[in-house]
Amino acid sequence: MNKSNSQLSPELAQKLYLSLLRCRKFEEKIVELYPQQEIRCPTHLSLGQEGVAAGVCSALEKEDLIFSTHRCHSHTIAKGADLKFLMAELYGKKTGCSKGKGGSMHFLQPEIGAMGASAIVGGTIPLAIGAALALKMKSKNQVSVAFFGDGAIEQGTFHEGLNFASLKKLPVLFICENNGLATCTPISSRQPFSDIYKRAESYMIPGNQVDGTNVHEVYQAAATAVERAKKGEGPTLIEAQCYRWREHVGPNFDYQLGFRSKEDVEKAIEKCPIKCLEEKIKNENILSKEILLEISDLVTKEIEESVNFAKESPFPQAEEIFMDL
Amino acid sequence: MRELKYKEAISEAHVQAMLKNPNIYMMGVGVADPTGIFGTTIAASKCFGKERVFDTPLSENTLTGIGIGSAMCGLRPILIHARNDFLLLTMDQIVNHAAKWNYMAGGKLPIPFLIRAIIGRGWGQAAQHSQSLQALFAHIPGLQVIMPSSPYDAKGLILSSMESDKTTICIEHRWLYEKSGPVPEEPYSIPFGKGTILRKGKDITLVAISHMTLEAKTAAEECSKENIDIEIIDPRSLRPLDEDLILSSIKKTGRLIIADAAWKMCGMSSEISALAAEKCFPYLKAPILRITLQDTPTPCSSVLETVYYPTSMNIVKAARSLFSGKPKDDAKEFIAAKSERDFSGPF
């Protein structure tokens, strides 16, 4: 099947919808539970940005690898992580995905190709390239993905990394989630122009820009990049434009700080990736309302189970601090 | 036993490890060029070709990250820097990523990775091509730091790093490269965290690191003429550090000198002093003495270099000061082994 040219089939619509809802409801649950102060680590929520994670990861196979950032929840979830282990990690429990050693900024599940996340901006770009180098050296028909934000464009690793990946024609996707903000600082204060995808040209690789709230569009761009990578033609840079609904870190809104207006945030929320997909599904009559409800109920149940699992799990023993070094 | 030069021992370790394990590859600026990192990568380059031994862009930090990513996916990278100083460009990937990834992953993603870097002392290398930065890395949990001083240790420790699941920083002093010593032909390993006694003695424990072991041996011979019997310990690996070996020697001699050609402040010499003070204070009969670099960047002029670097003479003087009551002939200054005469430019 040529994924990149496919129409939105019922199967794909279902896959994308499920992925989006898992990301969304997981973080909405964090917002709800955070005031209980049992989640004792900083959480960088990707509410509003799920279209990028869901679109890209739906174009990947289980064996493909992803590397993420401090805002890593949706990437890891969309890759297919078990929510129980992620929620338990937020609660600092032994059963967490990194046994309570990593927390919110370092989600991973290597068995499903989620290879971890760095809290250093641009930190995982080289790691994803290294993984792609290993895939190529071992002649594996897989790809590696680096997720990063617009801030990472300002790091040396982005430029060094694109140079190396292009030179070696490595099977890697560079996915830039451009939410236009580094904490509270707009991209206009940090970069001379905002079309990040154009930077690909100087490294002789394809670069394209997609609407990150349109999960199908993201999916198609990612599928094209995956095909290219698997054919041995090298990396692709995809800039997905999106909007961070909440504060840089934490469960709240931040328009009261004054660097963006409440109206702007509300306008962005209107352009919700889930709502956009639901409208498309309805307008093109792709899936029934009942199926969507069924998916939603399934996800709600999965989230509840993950919270119960996390709350009931034991904390690590003191001596475990010396393990896993 | 057959003798090899230090650089030949490293080269042999690389070839033997790469023959045994097809997942090992080697990269870095200049690893596949005709000079092959002072000759240490030429044989590997010839044997294994550009697929497994390749030159890279000058992107030290990203190369380290590439090594890390590949190590997570079943490869065993070796990344080589012709100068120790270039490691400073890659501190983020070494300290924030290589050293921590497995821990942050709850033990699911070990990073087996060897990073070699060379101290480029001499011939006016000045401040950015000759630093000794071992303490920066020894400070970091999650890393292993080795500084072999003999051809035997170089081969054994590098082969051990190829079997280890951790990231190892190997810091080599280039004045050791032409030194010869016995090296078994077959592969062997030296455990990390195991030091070695280079000379047995009863009066002073002299912990000497890397090239300073050579100065230490010269100093010990000189001191023996004055009836000062020095025990020389080469820790070989700085993290983990062989505390037991150092402490048991101090308990025997009651005196400690540390010779580390690096800065004194927050250096390995501070760490080993603290170890002695914390764990065998009652055994110390005299203050701990430290032989280190001057507290300045490395100067270029050969005259200033002479002031900057400690020699066996500094060690002898320190040893004498601990035994001021012992008979000695102060007028009889000796000429230190001029190992620097073995080394000449152009770079």
**Is the distance from CB of A299 to CB of A18 less than 8 angstroms?**
yes
Q: What are phi and psi of B59, to 5 degrees?
A: -130, 70
**CA-based nearest residue to B192, from B172, B170, B214:** B170
The pLDDT, as a whole number, for residue A188 is 94
Kindly report the number of other CB atoms within 10 A of residue A292's CB atom. 19
Sheet holding B289-291, edge to edge: B196-199, B230-234, B204-208, B256-259, B289-291
Picking from B65, B160, B96, B306, the residue whose alpha carbon sits closest to that of residue A120 is B96
Three-state secondary structure readout of B212-265: HHHHHHHHHHHHHHCCCCEEEEECCEEECCCHHHHHHHHHHHCCEEEECCCCCC
> Which architecture does CATH list for A3-313?
3-Layer(aba) Sandwich (3.40)
pLDDT above 90 (res B206): yes
Question: For residue A243, is pLDDT > 80?
Answer: yes
**Among the listed residues A14, A134, A167, A126, the one whose alpha carbon sits nearest the alpha carbon of residue A63:** A134
User: How far, in Å, CA of B255 to CA of A155, rounded?
Assistant: 50
- Per residue in B300-340, pLDDT (tens digit) is 999 999 999 999 999 999 999 999 865 455 545 555 445 44
The closest CB to that of B96, out of A120, A128, A324, belongs to A120
Does the pLDDT at position B24 exceed 70? yes
Q: Say whether pLDDT at A58 is over 50.
A: yes
Where do the domains of chain B lie? 3-182, 196-323
Stretch B235-246: mean pLDDT, rounded? 98
pLDDT value for B326? 57
- With a pLDDT cut of 90, the percent of chain A lying above it is 98
A95: Cα separation from own chain's centroid:
23
Q: Find the helix packing angle between A125-137 and A156-167, rounded to 10°.
A: 20
- For residues B251-273, one letter each, b for 16 or more C-beta atoms within 10 angstroms of the residue's C-beta and e for the rest, the string is eebbbbbbbbbbbbeebbbbbbb
Cα–Cα distance between B299 and B303 in angstroms, integer?
A: 9
What ipTM describes this predicted complex?
A: 0.95
B3-182 and B196-323, same CATH topology: yes
How many whole angstroms from its chain centre is CA B147? 2
CB contact under 8 A, B107 and A138: no
3-class DSSP state of A222: helix
Percent residues over pLDDT 90 in chain B: 92
The residues with which A7 forms a beta bridge, in sequence order, are: none
Retrieve residue A319's tokens. Answer: 């001596």
The residue whose two tokens read 């959480």 is: A43
Residues A23, A46 contacting (CB under 8 angstroms)? yes
Residue A91 φ/ψ, nearest 5 degrees: -85, 5
Averaged pLDDT score across all residues of chain B: 94
| pLDDT greater than 90 at residue B109 | yes
* pLDDT confidence band for B123 (50 / 70 / 90): confident
Amino acid at A23: C
Burial class (CB in 10 A: 0-12, 13-18, 19+), B282: exposed
- pLDDT tens digits, one per residue of B43-59: 999 999 999 999 999 99
- Determine the average pLDDT of the residues in B77-96: 97
Whether cis (ω within 30° of 0) applies to the bond prior to B310 is no
Say if residues A136 and A130 touch (Cβ distance below 8 Å). Answer: no
Place of tokens 């101290």: B119
Topology of the domain comprising B3-182? Rossmann fold (3.40.50)
User: Of A178, A188, A112, A114, which is closest to residue A151 (Cα–Cα)?
Assistant: A178
Contacts of A108 in chain B (CB under 8 A): 104-105, 108-109
* Three-state DSSP string of chain B: CCEEEHHHHHHHHHHHHHHHCCCEEEEECCCCCCCHHHHCCHHHHHHHHHHHEEECCCCHHHHHHHHHHHHHCCCEEEEEECCHHHHHHHHHHHHHHHCCHHHHCCCCCCCCEEEEEEECCCCCCCCCCCCCCHHHHHCCCCEEEECCCCHHHHHHHHHHHCCCCCEEEEEEEHHHCCCEEECCCCCCCCCCCCCEEEECCCCEEEEECCCHHHHHHHHHHHHHHCCCCEEEEECCEEECCCHHHHHHHHHHHCCEEEECCCCCCCCHHHHHHHHHHHHCHHHCCCCCEEECCCCCCCCCCHHHHHHHCCCHHHHHHHHHHHCCCCCCCCCCCCCCCCHHHHCCCCC
**Cα–Cα distance, B307 to B311 (Å, whole number):** 10
Contact A110 B105 (CB under 8 A): yes
Nearest to A116 among B57, B93, B101 (CB): B101
User: Which one of B129, B173, B215, B271 is the catalytic residue?
Assistant: B129
Contacts of B56 in chain A (CB under 8 A): 164
CA distance to partner chain B, nearest, from residue A2 (Å): 28
User: What was the pLDDT predicted at A66?
Assistant: 98
Three-state DSSP class for A42? coil
Mean pLDDT of A212-220: 98
* pLDDT beyond 70 at B20: yes
Q: A-B interface: how many C-beta pairs under 8 angstroms?
A: 136
B186 contacts chain A (CB < 8 A): no
pLDDT at A193 over 50: yes
Q: How confident is the model at residue B342 (pLDDT cuts 50, 70, 90)?
A: low
Using pLDDT thresholds of 50, 70 and 90, give the confidence band for residue A197: very high
pLDDT at B344: 65
Cβ neighbours of residue A152 closer than 8 Å, sequence gap 6 or more: A69, A121, A122, A125, A158, A176
Give contacts of B108 with chain A, Cβ < 8 Å. 98, 108, 110
Confidence of residue A7 (pLDDT cuts 50, 70, 90): confident
Q: What is the mean pLDDT of residues B4-8?
A: 98
A168 to chain B, closest Cα gap in Å: 10
Instruction: List the one residue out of A70, A107, A45 whose CA is nearest residue A247.
Output: A45
Most A CBs within 10 A among B70, B111, B165, hence the mutation to make, goes to B70
Residue pLDDT, tens place only, A217-228: 999 999 999 999
**Candidate CATH numbers 3.40.50.920, 3.40.50.150, 3.30.460.80, 3.40.366.10; the one for domain B196-323:** 3.40.50.920
Give the C-alpha distances (Å, rounded to integers) separating A105 from A31, A44, A129, A153, A185. 16, 8, 20, 20, 20
Measure the CA–CA gap between A24 and A17, rounded to whole angstroms. 10
- Using an 8 Å CB-CB cutoff, list chain A residues near B73: 65, 130-131, 134-135, 138
- For the cut 50, the answer to whether the pLDDT of residue A236 exceeds it is yes
pLDDT for residue B331:
41
Order of strands across the sheet that contains B113-119 = B53-55, B24-28, B76-81, B113-119, B167-173, B143-146, B237-239
The rounded radius of gyration (Å) of the Cα atoms in chain A is 19
What is the distance in angstroms between the Cα of B347 and the nearest Cα belonging to chain A? Answer: 27
Q: CA–CA separation, B307 vs A53, rounded Å?
A: 59
